[in-house]
């Protein structure tokens, strides 16, 4: 997390990350159960696979800030 946000924003970023994980731990299984009940297991796998597309797009666009070296190689 320290590589993604400035040091001043680190506590808020960790909190937001924890909230996101805990929210998805409760919402994810409920949504998955609904999809399986309504459309079947294959649809649940398809939705899961499709949910990675925005993540892959974000990773392709992300350009991390590389800190300059302070020591010789």
Residues 28 and 26: their CA atoms lie apart, in Å, by: 6
- Encode pLDDT of 48-69 as tens digits: 999 999 999 999 998 887 878 8
pLDDT score of 22: 95
- Encode pLDDT of 4-55 as tens digits: 888 899 999 999 999 999 999 999 999 999 999 999 999 999 999 999 999 9
Residues 5 and 13: their CA atoms lie apart, in Å, by: 7
Is pTM beyond 0.75? Reply is no
Using N-to-C axis directions, what is the helix angle for 41-50 and 10-39, rounded to 10°?
150
Q: Sketch the domain layout of the chain as residue ranges.
A: 7-61
- The single residue listed with the structure tokens 């400035």 is 6
């Amino acid at each position: 997390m320290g590589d993604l946000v400035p040091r001043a924003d680190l506590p808020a970023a960790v909190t937001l990350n924890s909230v996101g994980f805990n929210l998805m731990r409760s919402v994810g299984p409920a949504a998955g159960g609904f999809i399986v009940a309504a459309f079947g297991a294959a649809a649940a796998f398809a939705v899961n696979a499709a949910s990675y597309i925005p993540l892959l797009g974000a990773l392709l666009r992300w350009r991390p800030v590389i800190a300059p070296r302070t020591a010789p190689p």
